[in-house]
Structure 1
Amino acid sequence: MTQRGTSEELGVAVIGTGRMGADHVRRIQQVISGARVAAVVDVDAGRAETVAAPVGGCTAYTDPAAAMAAADVDAVLVASPGPAHEAALLTAFEHDLPVLCEKPLTPDAASALRVLEAELALGRRRVQVGFMRRYDAEYMKLKSLLETGQLGRPLMLHNRHRNAASPPGFTSDMLISDSVAHETDVTRWLLGHEITAVTVLRPRPSANAPDDLQDPQFVLFETDGGVVVDVEMFVNCGFGYQVQAEIVCERGTARIGDGHAMVTNMAGRWSGTIAQDFTERFADAYDRELQAWVDATRRGRVSGPSVWDGYAAAAVCEAGVRALEEGGRVEVELVERPALYR
């Protein structure tokens, strides 16, 4: 097994070989440094073998526990569906393996709390949660600006999160639990506040949305620092993928996500391009996130979003789903934050 702090490559087991898992396999092998894919895991043996085949020295498994017990596995990347995360994380704890877990940490606050308690029992952090927006260049620049205090205290945060089209089986609840989950984390990270209450307004559904889908939604957060945050969540906008944010402070504002890296002027018109999905918009963020995890792990450290952040996001999303279904304002219930995560 790789000794932390050496120049040897980190042997990573990637659990889940769907869209995200396969993309992370590519990223580890072709983009970042300091790691290699030692194992891939999927309940579909054929798919696991297909992903493993072009990767030298990579073994395909159908059982996560078997992969984690392998001598050449030093760390785990969990990219399986959310309901499978808890079992994978607890198994990783049994092997004392560091983990990068794609969001959500788990699908609900109760299971996230169980993971938190299990990590507390280890006495040290082992998990980085995959909230990749923290590694996006524009969000990082906005965070740095806020920390200088030049704009004064934040008062409001406006967010827009739009997808070209929702995938099959996407539900109204998932607009919050799968999509607004990102704004939940980025709000807490940018402001350094906890979200204390959620309200969800229901505009008339778009004609482009499936008949049973409440899309768009307008979500309001209240924070313990007195900032009011709104999120426009629209997953069938039709024209592309957009993530934008504007912070309104006492002495100024700052906005990110306009996506105008290049604008062309031709034949009496100006134009630019709009990303079509999250893998395009946040490709660099995923690269930075994974490199940061590998670098920290090889030094014997854990950095980035913690299990507490994953638990807090799950609790906020649960409150949001209740607000969507029941109407009105729903308060967020959190346990006391353990010292390990302060």
Structure 2
Amino acid sequence: MGEVLGVAVLGAGHMGADHVRRLDQVVSGARVAAVADPDAARAEQAAAALAGASVHEDPVAALDAPGVEAVLIASPAPAHEEALLAAFARGLPVLCEKPMTPDSAGALRVVEAEARLGRRLAQIGFMRRYDAGYARLKSLLDGGELGRPLMLHCTHRNVSSPAHFTSAMLIDSSVAHEIDAARWLLGTELTAVTVLRPTPSALAPEGLLDPQFVLFETARGALVDVEVFVNCGFGYQVRCEAVGERGSARIGEEHGMAVTARGGARTEVPQDYLVRFADAYDREVQAWVDATRRGRVTGPSAWDGYAASAVAEAGVRSLHGGGRVGVDLAPRPELYAPTAD
């Protein structure tokens, strides 16, 4: 790698444009070498302030652009598999936003393709692992102070959902983050899912099953519950409480400013995930750049992306069919044996 890592950013929408800004203004040791988006005007806008960055409608053309040494995929999920496989074919390290692919079959194809290479190239964008609160909770659980983990209680709320959001997306888009966080925090796989459907909120678009209550079982016997409510109307909230045999710990209540004035007090609630997890995204991308420049790949793997997809699919089946649905995972390739990363 050169002294400054040249990155091709695929996708120039809300997430992609924010990563372009982050690589240009926040992260050290990297520069945006190319931007690709099927919407040429959007790609041009994202790259407008960048010196020397090429602009492309075709993501494969961006991968072959001069100066590209690594790839950040922030395009819609249906485009991820093709981009990942194209990056693998070129030996390019990749940071791919979640979900890695729209379905577990595609995710397994990515895992198998990377396993055939015999080395990791992909890191998947489960940025909660880089959030300060989640990192402290992980350290606490690993240190054993709370004893054996028994339960995780999780909350995931959004102000409102996009117009295209479906009932299944509450599981495979929103709760996907809790799926990965639970696997990481507890160090175990999720083995079964049960989705319960309260009466939909009047704030939810017609036909959207919102909120939902999701219960995960784990291989080590701990239980994980998630309240997901994507049209709560008041803010973006992500919380997690771990309950162990000898104590509990809760994160997610410290964000936002507390204001005392005119005889009262109020706490501001972030309105967007890019606000709530801004620091986590910064740390995630910086860690990826630093590792890539050292010739390493760390963080969530393609296996983690596959496992999250498989669990989410089981959750969607429970949502639509009712009842408890088991999670069946393919054998894990040796490439993804657990490490200290």
> TM-score, normalization: structure 1?
0.97
- Answering whether residue 249 of structure 2 is matched by residue 250 of structure 1, we say no
Aligned-residue offset at 1:262: 4.2
Asked whether the 8 Å contact 1:259–1:274 carries over to 2, the reply is no
Taking structure 1 as reference, are residues 11 and 330 closer, same or farther at Cα in structure 2, changes over 3 Å only?
A: same
- Answering whether residue 225 of structure 2 is matched by residue 269 of structure 1, we say no
AA at the equivalent of 1:234: F
Structure 1 Cα separation of the partners of residues 266 and 48 of structure 2: 42
- After superposition, the C-alpha distances for 1:140-166 in whole angstroms (9 at most, x for unaligned) are 010011111011000010000000111
* Alignment match of 1:142 (pick from 133, 137, 141): 137
- After superposition, the C-alpha distances for 1:91-124 in whole angstroms (9 at most, x for unaligned) are 0011000000000000100000000000011100
Instruction: Flag as ranges the 4+ runs of structure 1 deviating above 3 A.
Output: none
Residue 12 (structure 1) aligns with: 7
Asked whether the 8 Å contact 2:54–2:65 carries over to 1, the reply is no
- Answering whether residue 124 of structure 2 is matched by residue 129 of structure 1, we say yes
Residue 326 (structure 2) aligns with: 331
3-state DSSP of counterpart to 1:232 = strand
> Alignment RMSD, CA only?
0.9
How many percent identity over aligned positions? 67
Residue 55 (structure 1) aligns with: 50
5+ long unaligned stretches in structure 2: none
3-state DSSP of counterpart to 1:311 = helix
* Alignment match of 2:208 (pick from 193, 196, 213): 213
Structure 1 Cα separation of the partners of residues 174 and 259 of structure 2: 31
Question: Within 5 A, what are the aligned runs for 1:175-324?
Answer: 175-259=170-254, 262-324=257-319
3-state DSSP of counterpart to 2:19 = helix
Residue 30 (structure 1) aligns with: 25
* Alignment match of 2:106 (pick from 108, 111, 115): 111
Structure 2 Cα separation of the partners of residues 141 and 293 of structure 1: 20
AA at the equivalent of 1:335: A
Aligned-residue offset at 1:291: 0.0
3-state DSSP of counterpart to 1:37 = strand
Structure 1 Cα separation of the partners of residues 257 and 143 of structure 2: 29
**Larger displacement relative to structure 2 (49-58 or 35-44):** 49-58
AA at the equivalent of 1:178: S
Aligned-residue offset at 1:260: 5.2
Aligned-residue offset at 1:71: 3.0
5+ long unaligned stretches in structure 1: none
Aligned-residue offset at 1:47: 1.5
3-state DSSP of counterpart to 1:172 = coil
- After superposition, the C-alpha distances for 1:179-237 in whole angstroms (9 at most, x for unaligned) are 00000000000000100000000000000001110000000000001001100000000
Asked whether the 8 Å contact 2:256–2:270 carries over to 1, the reply is no
Residue 162 (structure 1) aligns with: 157
AA at the equivalent of 1:168: A
Aligned-residue offset at 1:9: 0.4
